[in-house]
Amino acid sequence: MDNRYDVIVIGAGPAGMTAAIYAKRAGLNVAMLESMAPGGKMVKTFDIQNYPSYSEVNGADLSMKMFEHTQNLNVSYLYGDVVNITDGEYKKIKCADGNEYEAKAVIIATGTKERLLNIPGELELASRGVSYCAVCDATFFKGKDVAVIGGGNSALEEALYLAEGVNKLYIIIRRDVFRAEEIVQNKVLNHPKIEIIKKHIPVEITGDKKVDGLVIENVDTKEITKLNVDGIFPYIGSIPNTSFVSDLNITDENGYILVNEKMETKVPGIFSAGDCNRKELRQIVTATSDGAIAGQNAYHYIKD
């Protein structure tokens, strides 16, 4: 059967691509199954400065290099949005388009997606001024005023990228401290176009056909202010892409997959790697590390 493999890796971000490289180099018949372009969140990152061996690298370029590595090894690349995995001697993977695949071992590496603000105007004005991808959309906001929401690494790094082209950029944080690394905080604090608004939360995005403002509320005084902005970039954290494993009962209460040090879930032959796992540090380098461990242990599961 051509839909049968030794290992299927679901997701082709850094964790998935590394898992595929390790499993393939161990002599297994390996496919990656992905619903988008390879690279995952890396593709949407303009400038990566903490992946060893590159002082600075563009996320799309790093994604392409990792993908080329998998293709030089002849890892199969399948398109599909997985909706379900069924356990068995061969695990059955069902996709939204009706395609089904089988594998002796499955490695889940589906990462996370952006958490929504869930305020009026957000969904209505998505792609009309509300964007979750600065790298994709920065060009539409050249010379305009924009707001970035959140104080983590994603928010601050993307704010620095956007600030190159915009007229003015507000960063809205709900506390009076950031979560991002200090090196990034310092760059933001010293940027002439960036104004930090602390202790405020967004309550409404306004605009008819496109965004014309962001309404924010002071968390202490409840005072309301409207910022006249054309673009809004929420970067308020992530939620794991794991709804398709809900039947397997392998996640914690927040949907993050629980694994041991071998990246094994509690279902034999189902491994998980990268940001979708419950873990301390979500970085490209920790994703690749998880992927290597998962790929190697998938090999042992099949051959030992």
Binding interface with ligand NAP (CB under 6 A): 50, 149-155, 157, 173-175, 179, 201, 235-238, 282-283
CB nearer to ligand NAP: pick between 152 and 165: 152
Q: Tell me how crowded residue 38 is: count the other CB atoms within 10 A of its CB.
A: 22
- Give me the residue label for tokens 């594998």: 103
CB nearer to ligand NAP: pick between 40 and 151: 151
| Least spacing, CB of residue 199 vs ligand NAP, in Å | 10
| Least spacing, CB of residue 304 vs ligand NAP, in Å | 34
Q: Which residue is nearest to ligand NAP (CB)?
A: 152
Strands (DSSP E) along the chain, which ranges?
4-10, 30-34, 76-79, 82-86, 91-95, 100-108, 112-114, 145-149, 168-172, 194-197, 200-207, 211-218, 224-227, 231-234, 238-240, 270-272
The closest alpha carbon to 109, from 296, 280, 263, belongs to 263
CA distance 201 to 174: 5
| Least spacing, CB of residue 153 vs ligand NAP, in Å | 4
CB nearer to ligand NAP: pick between 93 and 134: 134
CB nearer to ligand NAP: pick between 85 and 287: 287
* Residues with catalytic roles: 133, 136-137
Distances (CA, A) of 239 to 80, 107, 262: 20, 19, 23
| Least spacing, CB of residue 152 vs ligand NAP, in Å | 2
CB nearer to ligand NAP: pick between 64 and 197: 197
Length reported for the chain: 304
| Least spacing, CB of residue 157 vs ligand NAP, in Å | 6
* Non-local CB neighbours of 137 within 8 Å, separated by 6+ positions: 131, 231
For the chain, give me the number of helices (H) and strands (E)?
Answer: 6, 16
CA distance 264 to 271: 4
Assess contact for 169 and 163: CB atoms under 8 A.
yes
